[in-house]
Amino acid sequence: MTTRTAHRLAIGVALATVLFLIWAIGALGIIGEGGRPDRMYLAVFAVVTIGTLIARLRPHGMALVLLATALTQGLVGVTALIAGYHHNEGASVVEILGINGMYVALFGLSAWLFARAEGEPSAALDPVSAE
């Protein structure tokens, strides 16, 4: 895969993941019914938006931004469980962990692709190169 292809794929995966997250919150609600707990996802949007503005879509910076976004996404899921939102109607531990885990994986994939787009993959983001 060329660095240009990796860069384009990384942007596509990141954009699709953000749009999918917006759709899931707006149309379905991720943490049960009602929408109030879903406001926690504003932190994810803040990290990816501010980080992207700072990184200006440069591969190294975006890899770090998407890694931070994946971490923030995971923290939202853990926070939801600690706050007891899994007791809400339409939410469970498995659903909260599963859905948030999927988004963490997608943001992580985008971070890995941005690291690949940088040319030489970072050992921190590419476990294959660390061997």
In tens, the pLDDT along 1-51 reads 888 999 999 999 999 999 999 998 888 778 876 667 888 999 999 999 999
Give the model confidence (pLDDT) of 86-126 as tens digits. 888 878 899 999 999 999 999 999 999 999 998 755 545 55
pLDDT band at 127 (very low <50, low <70, confident <90, very high): low
pLDDT of residue 91: 83
Q: Is the pLDDT of residue 75 over 70?
A: yes
State the average pLDDT over residues 124-131: 52
Which pair of tokens denotes residue 128? Answer: 């294959």
State the pLDDT at residue 34: 63
How far is it, in rounded angstroms, from Cα 45 to Cα 48? 5
Give yes or no for a contact between 103 and 17, defined as CB atoms under 8 angstroms apart: yes
Does residue 30 or residue 71 have the better pLDDT?
71
Average pLDDT value for residue range 63-84: 95
What does the alpha-carbon distance between residue 80 and residue 87 come to, in Å, rounded to a whole number?
A: 10
Single-letter residue type at 30: I
